[in-house]
Structure 1
Amino acid sequence: MRRLQQKLAGLFGGRKGGGGGGDLGGGRASGIGAGLIVTVALAVWLLSGFYIVQQGERGVVLRFGKQAEVTEVGLRWHLPLPLEKVEKVNVEKVSTIEIGYRSNLRSGGKTKVPKEALMLTEDENIIEIEFAVQYKIKDATEFLFQVRDQETTITQATESAVREVVGRSSLDYVFENRKNVELGVKEQLQKILDSYRVGVLIQAVEMQRAQPPEEVKAAFDDAVRAREDRERLKNEAEAYANDVIPRARGAAARMLQEAEGYKASTVARAEGDARRFSAIAGEYVKAPGVTRERLYIETMEQVYSNTTKIFVDQKAGNNLLYLPLDKLVRGAMEAGPVTATPPLLSDAAEAVPPLKSGATGGSRSRTDQRKRTNTP
């Protein structure tokens, strides 16, 4: 102890004296120096307990190796070592787990991991699939103390979730419903990690690639092309049907309407003819001869209205007057609506004398009337 005091006294400027007074002064100086050293050491030890929690981090304080508290962002203090220590965890950092491949940051490419990528589907087909899972820490305490190797645990849980979802799905379902497969893997993986109390939250699950193994890829591509051709032809047929069926229905409706119209007009015409016949029959009962004569005249009017006529005036001698009435009427109709009687027609009408019942006698027979009019 004396030698230690002497060294401390020499360190802080103490001197060796020859008398008792010198020894007393040296002892006092040594005591002051030792106290100062202890004070400085204690201050440094206490100051070592200050730490800063950065934005996005959480500080987990361990007291004798056991969790004491979780601190937020800012300047914090804990009991210095060996009493307490702090573990800082970034809870906002998004990390990525890769299944079926590993990215090469230097070359920018990736390396396949067939052990993870090859999986069996529900319909007993082998598929080569790759997934990327993004997660972040939601509970710093669970992440630090519930599992020993967090990344390995998450990787194995992800592979297990992918195999379970793919094993419940057919090969076509995996290829055609990527979003549903990704959602199923995300839900299953979160359930597994929560049961392990890993303390992470799955942010996103993305299927990077899904294809058959290289040995059967050519045959599978042919099957895919055939399926695509089938869908294309099916869509074309549906489009053709959507175009033809409405037009056919429209044509059928139009024909039905025309048939209904024809039916209505035919029935109306038949009913009119029946009423006319009934009226004529009543008149015939009253005056048979007059009725027959009138019917004959009306019939001849209808016949002669559509034929070429030649009138011969017996009183004028052999002069023959030809009136092309059908051509004149047809030309007038083609020229436009007739507003007045054409001069030619009026002159011809004046040239033909009207028929009088007294000229030939009231009792002239039907044969005599036919002789007066010649029909070509």
Structure 2
Amino acid sequence: MKFPDERNYTDVNALLADLRRWLPIVVAGLVVLIVAAGTLTIVYTVQPEERAVVKRFGAVIKTTDPGLHFKLPFGIDHVQRVATERVLKEEFGFRTAAAGEPTRYAERSFPDESLMLSGDLNIIDVEWVVQYRIGDPIKFLYNMREPTRTLRDISESVMRRVVGNHLGSEILTTARVKIANLARDEIQSAMELYETGIHIITVELQNVVPPRAVQPAFNEVNESRQERERMINEATKQANEAIPRAEGEAKRIIAEAQGYAAERTNQALGEAARFRSILTEYEAAPEVTRRRMYLETLSDVLPQIGSVLVLQEGQSSPLPLLHLRDGQMPREVAP
């Protein structure tokens, strides 16, 4: 069998007959192609980390969640997928060399992005990362022509302003977290103002150092500051040890003085009470009381005198007169 274009037709009727024979086959093939194309273009799939924006004749009609969905075929409905659950990032002052591998940074530097002027007019090399995700896919796709470029411009502007409001020593030491939080809040406010559909997750300062030309001098200054902090800490430690020790010693001395005062006071009160009791007895029996007091005094004083020796002229050895200690009662020996 030969196709119509392979014959030389001299009869119009024969040509029409061949066309009528092939026309159903061509029409059936076109119908099959149209049905296959419609079947392929009527179904679309949205991945778990994505959301899809559906447009009909260029106008947005809806957004769809992850899963299998249907749309009008033949280009009537057009689908744009946006990774709304994926955390994206923009790097400033450095670049990651390769994705999907262990973290490795490119050797090339970007001084136009990282070099900034601090509040005390010092040049600081600041590298940072902005992590974000797409919160509203419609705003991200259609409210602004280049939302990612806008994010980079706003991030760089905000970071330069925040760094310019702080001293260089603060930026290099204690104010890094504060600067990152301020930058994150201001960048998010700008994204909401411009309705870019971008949600800022975090801003992290990667590397904050002085420029290479002044790093040796900065290291010396930093070492001096660390030495100063060390000496201050040691002095504070000694003060914290000495002050409580002195306070404890003072309290001990005060407590001893108070105890001594109480002892002397109680002793004086006891002596006064004893004197009043003796006075009462003396008033009742003066002679007996006087004699008893005399004898008690002798019994207390004489044992402390020791031996009394009387030397007589012409005698070569002393003559014992009183052996008071020998006359004392022997002490009882404990069993």
TM-score of the pair, normalised by structure 1: 0.71
Question: In the aligned structure 2, how far is the partner of 1:116 from the partner of 1:134?
Answer: 17
Q: Which residue of 2 aligns with 1:199?
A: 197
Displacement after TM superposition at 1:242 (Å):
2.9
Conserved 8 A contact 1:308-1:325: no
**Structure 1 counterpart SS, 2:166:** coil
Q: Which residue of 2 aligns with 1:36?
A: 28
Displacement after TM superposition at 1:93 (Å):
2.2
Displacement after TM superposition at 1:82 (Å):
4.4
Q: Which residue of 1 aligns with 2:127?
A: 130
For residue 32 of structure 2, what is the amino acid of its counterpart?
A: V
Q: Which residue of 1 aligns with 2:169?
A: 172
**Cα 1:64–1:250 shift into 2, 3 Å:** same
**Cα 1:208–1:24 shift into 2, 3 Å:** closer
> 1:65-121 CA deviation, whole Å, 9 max, x = no partner?
332322222333333444332222222222221112223239744432111112222
1:72 to 65, 74, 84: 65
**Aligned ranges for residues 1-376 of structure 1 at < 5 Å?**
10=4, 25-49=17-41, 50-105=43-98, 108-174=105-171, 175-278=173-276, 294-309=292-307, 338-339=333-334
**Cα 1:323–1:108 shift into 2, 3 Å:** same
Q: Which has the higher mean CA deviation after the structures are superposed, 88-97 or 72-81?
A: 72-81
For residue 113 of structure 1, what is the amino acid of its counterpart?
A: F
Note the residue ranges of structure 1 that are not aligned, 5 or more in a row.
1-6, 313-317, 341-376
Note the residue ranges of structure 2 that are not aligned, 5 or more in a row.
311-318
Displacement after TM superposition at 1:43 (Å):
1.6
> 1:144-203 CA deviation, whole Å, 9 max, x = no partner?
122222332221121122122222223333221322222222111111112222212222
**Structure 2 counterpart SS, 1:249:** helix
Give the total of aligned pairs: 320
> 1:193-243 CA deviation, whole Å, 9 max, x = no partner?
122222122222211111222333333333333332333333333333333
> 1:322-372 CA deviation, whole Å, 9 max, x = no partner?
68669998xx7xxxx8437xxxxxxxxxxxxxxxxxxxxxxxxxxxxxxxx
Displacement after TM superposition at 1:306 (Å):
3.2
**Cα 1:98–1:282 shift into 2, 3 Å:** same
**Cα 1:57–1:272 shift into 2, 3 Å:** closer
Conserved 8 A contact 2:94-2:106: no
Q: Which residue of 2 aligns with 1:346?
A: none
> 1:250-299 CA deviation, whole Å, 9 max, x = no partner?
32222222222221221222233334445556666787776665544433
- Greater Rg over alpha carbons, structure: 1
For residue 339 of structure 1, what is the amino acid of its counterpart?
A: A
**Cα 1:276–1:202 shift into 2, 3 Å:** same
**Structure 1 counterpart SS, 2:199:** strand
Conserved 8 A contact 2:44-2:70: yes
For residue 61 of structure 1, what is the amino acid of its counterpart?
A: V
Name the Cα RMSD after superposition. Answer: 3.8
Question: In the aligned structure 1, how far is the partner of 2:207 from the partner of 2:146?
Answer: 27
**Which of 1 and 2 has higher RCO (CA within 8 Å, sep 6+)?**
2
Q: Which residue of 2 aligns with 1:357?
A: none
**Structure 2 counterpart SS, 1:301:** helix
**Cα 1:259–1:117 shift into 2, 3 Å:** same
Displacement after TM superposition at 1:26 (Å):
3.2
For residue 83 of structure 1, what is the amino acid of its counterpart?
A: I
Q: Percent identity?
A: 34
**Structure 2 counterpart SS, 1:102:** coil
TM-score of the pair, normalised by structure 2: 0.78
Question: In the aligned structure 2, how far is the partner of 1:326 from the partner of 1:212?
Answer: 99
